[in-house]
Structure 1
């Protein structure tokens, strides 16, 4: 049985991505099939370097598959349209808020500074007042133009062109999860990249094992009907790759495979 490897939310952690790829190569060789689960950007220091690595791998013909995450959509919507909010963010926080990490993403593209917001109440839309950059203060429209000039179109096109799921005989790879009882073809984009409520607590049999990220844990965990591979790299925890043979799963460590069971 040919193994399939998977890497959860990277969140701009280029050095950790390199380490995860080394672990996979040591276990499965340089031609290993890898599925990346989205959220390549935000919070970590080198979103640009992460995307460069992924694009270079695809152009080199590596056996890599990518799905899109919610932070990837936040990033491209801001750069293309100047949208700093998403209705799925219940707190109303702006993408540039440190909790979401957009400022670090822009920093990796050379747009450096600190956002200043109006006083914010939870549930209300957070308003960006200005961006205090290294070369002076920018109004929101000026910042958007600077971001649009700094981010290569190839990066935006790469992220926007990614599928939302990848399906094999035994596995469904998706960023956030699935709405129970809804056929895969009828799942909404917002659910596939944002869902928690209704998915994380369900014991629903999806007919295949669901492999996802999005909900950060202390370490990848197997829940029986799903495996969450977001071990919290966006918060400074290790990026732990996994390997699947059928529905059997192991995490990869420098000393070899470790079984991941319910």
Structure 2
């Protein structure tokens, strides 16, 4: 049976539903399988609330879906727990509400306006009132990795040379260097997002499917059989090779 993965959604519910439609069409031809979502459900796009609710309800209803935790999902939940918290993966000059991060757009989807332009404590008080507790519990409890067959799924990547069971959450949701520069065979093929690129790319030891939905690009969905990877288009499978 194939296994499927969807890249960084960043609040684009329409793109997410369209990716699921492409997967459903592929399942009709090739058989059903688990769908792994690589995290970064929230921030930057217009409907983070809708994305989280869609996935949370799908899993509650018994869908064979896995949703991994991304760094943006973690920043959201950490802000909700403590508005002064600073995620260790984030540069000191930024906060989650900085316009470059997109936290204000996530809060706007819950009915909290102009979060980047108002006192943090007032924004937090309103957010505690309006953000669904079920959404926060769901995001907090998302796993940081998923292995199935010959594939290891993570949001950002792994620290080379360290077994997956010993990886830190900080690395799994934030790492770029040295992971992106490492060409070694990890054993399983690593499928990840986090680092936005123009199109899904197979590097031999890893596959990056963050095709920049956060910045106006498409949302990539792939099918995997063994170690063979296929990008799903509206007309079917397109092989993705190193």
- C-alpha change, 1:84 and 1:95, in structure 2 (3 Å) is farther
Aligned equivalent of 1:183: 163
Given that 2:108 and 2:115 are in contact with CA atoms closer than 8 Å, whether structure 1 keeps it comes out as no
Aligned equivalent of 2:204: 224
Aligned equivalent of 2:192: 212
* Residues 33-112 of structure 1: pairs in structure 2 closer than 5 A: 33-83=34-84, 85-90=86-91, 92-112=93-113
Given that 2:6 and 2:221 are in contact with CA atoms closer than 8 Å, whether structure 1 keeps it comes out as yes
Given that 2:35 and 2:66 are in contact with CA atoms closer than 8 Å, whether structure 1 keeps it comes out as yes
Aligned equivalent of 2:147: 167
User: Moved runs in structure 1, 4+ residues, more than 6 A?
Assistant: none
Higher Rg of the two aligned structures: 1
Query: How far apart, in 2, do the equivalents of 1:140 and 1:65 lie?
Result: 33
Query: How far apart, in 1, do the equivalents of 2:33 and 2:109 lie?
Result: 29
Given that 1:212 and 1:226 are in contact with CA atoms closer than 8 Å, whether structure 2 keeps it comes out as yes
Question: Shift of the alpha carbon at 1:233?
Answer: 0.5
CA RMSD of superposed structures (Å): 1.3
Query: How far apart, in 2, do the equivalents of 1:170 and 1:220 lie?
Result: 19
After superposition, what is the alpha-carbon deviation per residue over 1:5-58, rounded to whole angstroms, capped at 9, x for unaligned?
000100000000010000000111495420010000000000000011001111
Q: Structure 2, unaligned stretches of length 5 or more?
A: none
Given that 1:9 and 1:37 are in contact with CA atoms closer than 8 Å, whether structure 2 keeps it comes out as yes
Query: How far apart, in 2, do the equivalents of 1:114 and 1:107 lie?
Result: 8
Matched length: 240
* Residues 130-169 of structure 1: pairs in structure 2 closer than 5 A: 131=118, 139-169=119-149
Residue 226 (structure 2) pairs with residue 254 (structure 1)? no
Q: How high is the TM-score relative to the length of structure 1?
A: 0.89
Q: How high is the TM-score relative to the length of structure 2?
A: 0.96
Secondary structure of the residue that 2:116 maps to in structure 1? Answer: strand
Q: Structure 1, unaligned stretches of length 5 or more?
A: 117-130, 132-138
> Which has more helix, going by share of residues?
2
Given that 2:83 and 2:124 are in contact with CA atoms closer than 8 Å, whether structure 1 keeps it comes out as yes
